[in-house]
Amino acid sequence: MSEDRFLDVKGLEVDYMTLDGPFRAVKTVDLHINKGEVLGLAGESGCGKSTIAYALMRLHRPPAFISGGSITVDGEDVLAFDEETLNQWRWSKVSLVFQSAMNALNPVLTIFEQFRDVYHRHTGKSTAEARARAIELMGLVGIDPARLDDFPHQLSGGMRQRVVLANALILEPQMIIMDEPTTALDVVVQREILQEIAGLQAKFGFSILFITHDLALMAQFADRIAIMLEGEIVEVNDTQEIVNNPQHDYTKKLWEAMPSFDDTKGVA
Amino acid sequence: MSAPAFLTLDQVHKTYTLKTMFGPTKQVKALQDISFSLQKGQALALVGESGSGKSTCGRAVAGMFQIDSGKICVEGKPIATAHTSKEKRETARKVQMVFQDPFASLNPTHTVRHHLERPLKLHKRVPADSTLEDELHRTLTDVELDPAATLEKYPHELSGGQRQRINLARALAVGAELIIADEPTSMLDVSIRRSILNLMKRLKDERGITFLYITHDLATAHYLTENTAVMFGGRIVEYGPSDQIVRDPQHAYSKLLLSSVPSAKTKIDANFEHAKDFSNFADEVRKATAASTAPLASIGEGRMMRS
């Protein structure tokens, strides 16, 4: 079993330094993701789910500190990397898709320049090669490659999220961390993007850590779901079990918090 | 129609002219031929994607801008003909708005007391047999907040859900009869969305407050409202009782909207080719819907659709 594990997190602890002393945002979290698996991570705002995402990429800057535990990705100890290894490792092995596509793209660079930036830095290849790769990726996410020379503000929200997704794929990473990738989008566009992600995942077989607060959305797509509350993972199970047979009270509460079409009317 | 409607919109049109920094000016048809009526104590949901005109419609009802043509009437009186300040204040009192962003809609430099006192004083809502203090307490109790604990607090000391309650309280304080709620729960955490919805539902059922509920979430629309109007490109494409629209949507766009709502019961189709098909299908439906100029026609009891 364990050789299938792409990501293995043991006893992870993240602290934020505050004036009143350290605040523990992530409390001894264990989780793992197998190769090609989609793990959903759900919880309300402030429960530490994004903090975990940042910790996995070692993106935390003071006052945030990883104060305990281990992170192993593909057999390598991520916490032991030096800065240079880390820069090479990020994006080529594991990439990250942020919630707000507008903030993830540089507003003064064209779409192509954003692609070239990553590509050139990691592979040292020429602009022409970057162009070819960018055109290929744009085709993959269903945007006309002619839009490569547009600026982010000229694209719609859904297109921007597609560009961010394409950018995360540029070095063919083995895992993509997605931090609420569809939250800022309309339902129909959200569905399109989700379908896109599921399709790309089936095609390339990368692992996904999918973070959202929308349990129903997550259940449509994840293989397993972890539920987080106040820095701790309170329940992890197969999606079917989380949907049909939630064990923890908080999981049940999360399900009840969302009105669905099955709700009887007139009951407050 | 038995009782006269509380709110009626009759062929409302609004076109924005965009003057871009470069290039020619652009005309954006934000509202086209919007007609509906809303009975007192009922709720109507305006559902659609960003840019469909649903918020513009809510703002038009609140009188935040002049419409180009058509008529908006509150209790049979057109809001555009209110001339004296007394008439204007009366419409403003009856029609109140709750905005999407609870963090931006309260003044960060003032306490909750200030936010509630001002509307009470401006609209002279303190009866002779009561005091301002009593009214403040009553209003906060109405939205299920503890008056003693919240009155002196600043907005940053409150959670998103509590702030949205303050916004509702502010509307109730002046005796609002119609509350236009523009995506009031979309910026709140999932775990508290339900409680705000329940509060609105209770206000509707127990106080007879009329709601114009603007959302992109069909599930919450179905939960709160009697009727739903699906909007696209500034037009209403389908109108009818909410449960019927959810159970049996007729318009292609309503169907698309409904099929996109996440449901834990169906797995997403993880196939690379199918993802493209869905996107293309969605684009086709949007194009066809935008191109159609057919009028809203009845398709059965209380239901209307543009074919």
Q: Is A184 contained in some domain?
A: yes
Q: Which CATH number fits the domain that encloses residue A23?
A: 3.40.50.300
Distance, CA of A100 to CA of A251 (rounded, Å): 26
Q: Is A124 contained in some domain?
A: no
Mean pLDDT of chain A: 86
Q: Do B191 and A254 touch (CB under 8 A)?
A: yes
B159-185 pLDDT tens trace: 888 999 999 999 988 889 999 999 888
Q: Show which of residues 193-252 on chain A sit within 8 Å of chain B, judged by CB atoms.
A: 194-196, 198-203, 213-217, 219-221, 243
Q: Within 10 Å of residue A34's Cβ, how many Cβ atoms?
A: 18
- What local confidence, expressed as pLDDT, does residue B264 receive? 75
b/e map A158-170, b = 16+ CB within 10 Å: bbbbbbbbbbbbb
**Is the distance from CB of A89 to CB of A171 less than 8 angstroms?**
no
Residue B131 phi, psi dihedral angles, 5° rounding = -115, 165
Q: Is A82 contained in some domain?
A: yes
Sequence length of chain A is: 268
Q: Whole domain around residue A250: which residue ranges? A: 2-102+174-255
Q: Within 10 Å of residue A15's Cβ, how many Cβ atoms?
A: 20
**Is the distance from CB of B120 to CB of B171 less than 8 angstroms?**
no
Q: Model confidence at A267, in pLDDT bands (50, 70, 90)?
A: very low
Strands B7-18, B26-38: pairing kind? antiparallel
- What local confidence, expressed as pLDDT, does residue A266 receive? 37
Domains and CATH numbers, chain B: 38-57+84-306 (3.40.50.300)
Kindly state the helix (H) or strand (E) to which residue B69 belongs, with its residue range: strand B69-74
Alpha helices in chain A (DSSP H): 49-56, 83-92, 101-104, 111-123, 127-140, 157-169, 187-204, 215-219, 239-244, 249-256
Q: Is A151 contained in some domain?
A: no
Q: Which amino acid is at B110?
A: H
Q: Is A161 contained in some domain?
A: no
Q: Is A147 contained in some domain?
A: no
- pLDDT higher than 90, residue A46: no
**Is the distance from CB of B98 to CB of B104 less than 8 angstroms?**
no
Which residues of chain B make contact with A243, given a CB cutoff of 8 A? Answer: 264-265
Q: How many whole angstroms from its chain centre is CA B79?
A: 18
A5-38 pLDDT tens trace: 899 999 999 999 888 888 888 899 999 999 889 9
Residue B293 phi, psi dihedral angles, 5° rounding = -115, 15
Question: B272 to chain A: nearest residue by CA?
Answer: A199
CA distance B193 to chain A (A): 7
Q: Is A123 contained in some domain?
A: no
User: How far are the Cα atoms of B7, B36, B38, B178, B229 from residue B304, in angstroms, in the given order?
Assistant: 18, 11, 15, 24, 9
Q: Do A198 and B223 touch (CB under 8 A)?
A: no
Helix (H, G, I), strand (E, B) or coil at B236: strand
How many domains does chain A contain in total? 1
A188-239 pLDDT tens trace: 888 888 888 888 898 888 999 999 888 888 888 899 999 998 889 999 999 8
Distance, CA of A7 to CA of B79 (rounded, Å): 62
- Ranges of chain B with pLDDT below 50: 1
Nearest C-alpha neighbor of A75 from the set A164, A174, A196: A174
